[in-house]
Chain A
């Protein structure tokens, strides 16, 4: 099972928006509405930001939103803040055999 494809980096100024893509296939992203997104600061464990494509766990700011079209999912961070600077990973259910596959990761820089 290959990793989902994400851009290596993305950036924006404070207050701006940044969108990260996550491209898979019809066997994972395109086949199920089970895409999740994780934020990871250096030296820390990942934190769940979005699940089931567009749902936010309690405590996650509504500046974070998710969507999906075909085989590509997206995470948008609106109103960028300094603390949003981190690595972001997508993940998708990929069927009973492979179950979970992660994306390659995107480093978001707040300029």
Chain B
């Protein structure tokens, strides 16, 4: 059984960056395809990007390209999502989730990122 445990809530100022972590247990990160999904307050789910096992590369939604970086530390089975140039519209709960043939089967508990001056 895969378990994903994310880092705690963050408060950032506009223009800053935030890095959210997602620790995997039950499997190794190399066995999984990790993706990131966010949800603004009262809004729907939005896919941000993740690892594409077909290409062996990380792919990003067009909306976030140039501003988001997703990395993995296989020595600690921890995935990271860093979002830069934060603005108020980036206030959201950020989820890590594992992907299996284009569906998300395991989810982290979510990390609230608040962007406020």
Contacts and interface: CB of A to CB of B under 8 A. Distances in A.
B53 to A, nearest CB: 12
Interface in B70-117: 95, 97, 99-105, 107-110
Contact of A100 (B47, B108, B109): B47
Contacts of B107: 45-47
Contacts of A38: 45, 104
B26 interface: no
B110 to A, nearest CB: 6
Interface residues of A, number: 27
Report whether over half of chain B's contact residues are helix, strand or loop; otherwise say mixed: strand
Contacts, number: 67
B44 A45 contact: no
B95 A99 contact: no
B23 interface: no
A105 to B, nearest CB: 4
A47 B50 CA distance: 18
Contact of A45 (B47, B100, B109): B109
A41 to B, nearest CB: 12
Interface of B: 35, 37, 44-47, 50, 52, 59, 61-62, 95, 97, 99-105, 107-110
Interface of A: 1, 3, 32, 34, 36, 38, 45-48, 51-52, 57, 89, 91-93, 96-105
12 contacts: A1-B61, A38-B104, A45-B108, A45-B109, A51-B103, A89-B45, A96-B59, A100-B99, A100-B102, A101-B47, A102-B44, A102-B45
